[in-house]
């Protein structure tokens, strides 16, 4: 039976994460607030933002408009890489809480590693933030397998998840294995490759056989994988229902394999060499 939105992704931290959420990267102002409110109305319960997106206050406005109870939502935000020092990290989290209009964050991630700030300084403070109740769970984003291993050596609080770029074109076998080994949820950003999947002939062929769109097939491919969470972003309200409508069908093994075989060299979309000079 196909997995449903009501079957969250479990992890070593014991925090249940919805399988599909709304990404808010590049959404600003009234558009951001409106999309967030509409997404919640459409059934989304995971809302993903970041300090670096500069839209936490607009996300909060959208949540307020929805009228939904805070405890019904799963809010993720991320600490900017220039705020990972011991004297800035907690202060930045408190600022995020104020902007988001909440007393806690469901999942707090380090957005990017910062080679100029050692993890030995960052991870203990991240642990303190979680123990203080400012975040229910903590995790990482854009960490390589080596940095992931080092972070685990330093943490006393288990990491619930890591966000990585993941779509049919980007091979992420090393990271997927490393995260599954540690029983972490895998949160896929740029899951539809900024819309590139919409014109892919292989994905179009699979989509036609199911009476679905290529975007829906791609999101189904992701959420059907073990431990995967997808956080597509859209600026178009009419796309919200399409993106969310992936839990009432399933892909066959051959279709899953066909999608996984679409990887290609140089498929990475988001690359920040000042933070990660060498990917897996």
Per-residue pLDDT, 5:
55
- C-alpha of 189 from chain center: 5
Q: Which domain holds residue 104?
A: 21-193+226-248
Per-residue pLDDT, 2:
41
- pTM of this prediction? 0.97
Q: CA 247 to CA 148: how far, in whole Å?
A: 31
Summarised one tens digit per residue, pLDDT across range 52-107 is: 999 999 999 999 999 999 999 999 999 999 999 999 999 999 999 999 999 999 99
Per-residue pLDDT, 7:
81
Whether 122 maps to a domain, the answer reads yes
Whether 207 maps to a domain, the answer reads no
Whether 220 maps to a domain, the answer reads no
Element (H, E) at 21: strand 21-23
Is residue 135 within 8 Å of residue 13, measured between CB atoms?
no
Residue with tokens 């600490």: 79
Is residue 243 within 8 Å of residue 218, measured between CB atoms?
no
* Mean predicted confidence (pLDDT) in 174-187: 98
Whether 268 maps to a domain, the answer reads no
* Mean predicted confidence (pLDDT) in 176-205: 98
Give the strands of the sheet with 159-165, arranged side by side: 21-23, 46-48, 74-79, 105-110, 135-141, 159-165, 185-189, 228-230
Q: How many secondary structure helices (H) and strands (E) does the chain include?
A: 10, 8
Per-residue pLDDT at 1 exceeds 90: no
Whether 126 maps to a domain, the answer reads yes
Q: What secondary structure letter does DSSP report for 15?
A: -
Domain with 36 in it: what CATH number? Answer: 3.20.20.100
Summarised one tens digit per residue, pLDDT across range 234-246 is: 999 999 999 999 9
> Could you tell me which of 178, 188, 276 has the C-alpha nearest to residue 231?
188
Whether 117 maps to a domain, the answer reads yes
53 is catalytic: yes
Looking at every residue in the chain, the average pLDDT score rounds to: 96
Whether 202 maps to a domain, the answer reads no
Q: What secondary structure letter does DSSP report for 5?
A: T
How many structural domains is the chain composed of? 1
Per-residue pLDDT, 6:
60
């Amino acid at each position: 039976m196909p997995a449903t939105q009501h079957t969250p992704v479990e992890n070593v931290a014991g925090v249940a994460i919805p399988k599909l959420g709304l990404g808010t990267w590049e959404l600003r102002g009234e558009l951001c607030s409106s999309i967030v409110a509409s997404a919640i109305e459409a059934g989304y319960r995971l809302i993903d933002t970041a300090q670096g997106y500069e839209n936490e206050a607009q996300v909060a406005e959208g949540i307020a408009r929805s009228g939904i109870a805070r405890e019904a939502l799963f809010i993720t935000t991320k600490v900017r890489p220039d705020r990972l020092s011991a004297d800035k990290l907690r202060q930045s989290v408190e600022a995020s809480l104020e902007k988001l209009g909440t007393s806690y964050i469901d999942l707090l991630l380090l957005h990017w590693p910062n080679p100029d700030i050692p993890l030995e300084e960052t991870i203990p403070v991240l642990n303190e933030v979680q123990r203080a109740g400012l975040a229910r769970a903590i995790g990482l984003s854009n960490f390589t397998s080596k940095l992931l291993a080092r972070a685990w050596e330093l943490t006393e609080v288990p990491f619930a998840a890591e966000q990585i770029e993941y779509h049919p074109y980007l091979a992420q076998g090393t990271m997927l294995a490393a995260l599954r080994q540690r029983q972490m949820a895998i949160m896929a950003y740029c899951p539809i490759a900024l819309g590139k999947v919409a014109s892919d002939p292989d994905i179009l062929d699979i989509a036609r056989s199911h009476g679905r769109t290529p975007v829906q097939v791609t999101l189904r491919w992701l959420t059907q994988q073990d431990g995967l969470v997808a956080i597509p972003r859209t600026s178009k309200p009419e796309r919200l229902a399409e993106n969310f409508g992936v839990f009432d069908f399933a892909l066959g093994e051959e279709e899953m394999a066909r999608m996984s075989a679409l990887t290609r060299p140089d498929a990475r979309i988001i690359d920040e060499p000042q933070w990660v000079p060498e990917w897996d």
